[in-house]
């Protein structure tokens, strides 16, 4: 969903000519957290102008700027707006952490300026101290992310120190992250999938030269070739669980991108557990989330 956002006018006086307009604007807004994709949309929307020799016209991405040119554009006043009235199912809150149970269909963070309804904006509305914490302005506080259609537990930090320590714990494999999924295939009762993955645009693929990825699993229940599985992956790279089960010949139900059969209205994946023992500074936790009704119905 996209809604109108307050905008501010920006301008840039060119001191060194020769680069493309798009590059010049992208460089000027990089510190504000905007991406090249955001800048591209401003050009496509006719929101960028070039002023030269007292004349002003709409700029195109490929235009080259010259010394003395002045670029004008309109950009959102804030990359994301806090949403204090947005619903947020909080299952743990402390001085350091907030853990929420995200419903399927909700994005963790906005992809484009003006997008609303994400977990990040709800968190920022309820916990404004998260602003400036994390990977960037689009995802304040978020320690990891889930796909839009993956439901379940999402971990966020309320301080920079908490964020740094949580990321270190994830990287060292000290966080217990588990998923429940429904797939179809001939699986052993338990096993380990070691298969490196490589990101290619919106998808990933198995690639021996890709990033190392390990998923452990055990089958909890079977109905014919359909399986309810608990999988463990920490840290998990993008789409890891989904591509690993497709690699085994047992893709998730509803995961049409990776060869799954039609089933639910989404891929059958739920982030069911997140636990950390803590350290000398920050308290640990262990949180579980039950399989949602739409996925539970697949095993009846």
Domain boundaries, the chain: 7-76, 79-172, 174-300
Give residues with Cβ within 8 angstroms of 108, minimum separation 6.
102, 118, 119, 120, 139, 142, 145, 146, 148, 154
Helix or strand run (H / E) with residue 155: strand 151-157
Check 147, 188, 194, 288 and give the catalytic one: 147
**CA-CA distances (angstroms) from residue 4 to 80, 113, 148?**
12, 10, 23
What does the alpha-carbon distance between residue 252 and residue 243 come to, in Å, rounded to a whole number? 9
The string of pLDDT tens digits covering residues 106-162 is 999 987 767 889 999 999 999 999 987 888 778 889 999 999 999 999 999 999 999
Backbone φ/ψ region at 60: left (φ over 0), alpha (ψ -120 to 50), beta = beta
The string of pLDDT tens digits covering residues 57-109 is 999 988 999 989 999 998 776 667 889 999 999 999 999 999 999 999 999 99
Q: What is the mean pLDDT of residues 167-182?
A: 94
Same fold, 7-76 and 174-300: no
Which CATH fold would you assign to the domain 79-172?
Pseudouridine synthase (3.30.2350)
Residue 266: the pLDDT is 94
**Does position 1 have pLDDT exceeding 60, yes or no?**
no
Distance of CA 262 to the CA centre of its chain: 24
Distance of CA 143 to the CA centre of its chain: 10
Q: Is 212 exposed, middle or buried (0-12, 13-18, 19+ CB in 10 A)?
A: exposed
Helix or strand run (H / E) with residue 167: helix 160-171
Residue 33: the pLDDT is 65
CB atoms within 10 A of CB 98: 22
3-state secondary structure 53-94: CCEEEECCCCCECCCCCEEEEEEECCCCCCCCCCCCCEEEEC
Q: What is the dihedral of CA 205, 211, 214, 220, to 10 degrees?
A: -30
Q: What is the mean pLDDT of residues 258-282?
A: 91
Residue 168: the pLDDT is 92
What does the alpha-carbon distance between residue 287 and residue 275 come to, in Å, rounded to a whole number? 6
For residue 130, the 8-state DSSP code is G
**Does position 3 have pLDDT exceeding 50, yes or no?**
no
Query: What is 7-76's CATH superfamily?
Result: RNA-binding S4 domain (3.10.290.10)
Residue 209 designated active-site:
no
Helix, strand, coil percentages (3-state) for the chain, rounded to 5, are 20, 35, 45
CATH code reported for the domain at 174-300: 3.30.2350.10
């Amino acid at each position: 969903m996209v809604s109108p956002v307050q905008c501010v006018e920006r301008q840039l006086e060119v001191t060194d000519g020769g680069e493309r307009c798009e590059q010049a604007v992208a460089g000027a807004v990089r510190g504000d957290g905007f991406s090249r994709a955001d800048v591209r949309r401003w050009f496509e929307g006719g929101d960028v102008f070039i002023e030269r020799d007292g004349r002003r016209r709409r700029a195109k991405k490929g235009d080259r700027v010259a010394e003395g040119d002045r670029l004008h554009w309109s950009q959102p006043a804030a990359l994301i707006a806090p949403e204090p009235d947005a619903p947020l199912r909080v299952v743990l809150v402390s001085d350091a952490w907030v853990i929420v149970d995200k419903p399927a269909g909700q994005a963790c963070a906005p992809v484009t300026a003006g997008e609303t309804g994400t977990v990040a904006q709800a968190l920022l509305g309820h916990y404004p101290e998260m602003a400036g914490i994390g990977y960037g302005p689009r995802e304040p506080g978020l320690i990891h992310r889930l796909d839009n259609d993956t439901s379940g537990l999402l971990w966020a930090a309320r301080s920079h120190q908490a964020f740094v320590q949580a990321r270190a714990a994830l990287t060292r494999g000290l966080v217990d992250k588990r998923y429940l999924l429904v797939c179809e295939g001939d699986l052993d009762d338990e096993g380990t999938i070691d298969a490196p993955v490589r990101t290619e645009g919106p998808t990933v693929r198995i690639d021996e030269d890709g990033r190392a990825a390990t998923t452990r699993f055990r089958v909890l229940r079977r109905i014919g070739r359909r399986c309810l599985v608990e999988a463990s992956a920490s840290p998990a790279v993008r789409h890891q669980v989904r591509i690993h089960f497709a690699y085994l010949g047992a893709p998730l139900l509803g995961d049409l991108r990776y060869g799954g059969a039609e089933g639910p209205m989404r891929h059958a994946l739920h982030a069911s557990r997140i636990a950390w023992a803590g350290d000398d500074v920050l308290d640990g936790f262990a949180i579980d989330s039950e399989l949602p009704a739409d996925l539970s119905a697949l095993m009846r």
